[in-house]
Amino acid sequence: MMLNQKSRTTSFVLTFLFGPLGLLYASWPAAIILGVIAFVTAVTLVGPAICWVLGMIIGDSATRKHNRGIEEFKALMSQGKDK
């Protein structure tokens, strides 16, 4: 089984450059939700800016959570091999 960690740097760069669309790398449900919110609030320009910043924060958080989950899974699998 291949379990690959995601890069926090890649997540940051993608969300910095592409906003909610760059969030697809870390969390596609969050990307869809923030993308819709940014589109609906595009008239104000404040809404998309907030979504852009939230995308960077959520992207980093989702990447850390993903990587932590992989580490925990690997630890569980190695415990099972020891028995």
Question: pLDDT (tens digit, 9 = 90+) per residue, 25-45?
Answer: 999 999 999 999 999 999 999
Contact (Cβ atoms closer than 8 angstroms) between residue 19 and residue 42: no
Q: How many domains does the chain have?
A: 1
In a domain, 4, yes or no: no
In a domain, 60, yes or no: yes
Contact (Cβ atoms closer than 8 angstroms) between residue 48 and residue 38: yes
In a domain, 6, yes or no: no
pLDDT at residue 69, as a whole number: 94
Question: pLDDT (tens digit, 9 = 90+) per residue, 7-16?
Answer: 999 999 999 9
d(Cα 59, Cα 70) in Å, to the nearest integer? 17
What are the backbone angles phi and psi of residue 74, rounded to the nearest 5°?
-65, -40
d(Cα 23, Cα 27) in Å, to the nearest integer? 6
Please determine, for residue 1, whether its predicted confidence score (pLDDT) is greater than 80. no
For residue 77, name the pLDDT band (cuts at 50, 70, 90). confident
Please determine, for residue 81, whether its predicted confidence score (pLDDT) is greater than 80. no
Q: What is the pTM of this model?
A: 0.85
In a domain, 47, yes or no: yes
In a domain, 73, yes or no: yes
Which among 59, 65, 64 has a CA at the least distance from the CA of 28?
A: 59
In a domain, 1, yes or no: no
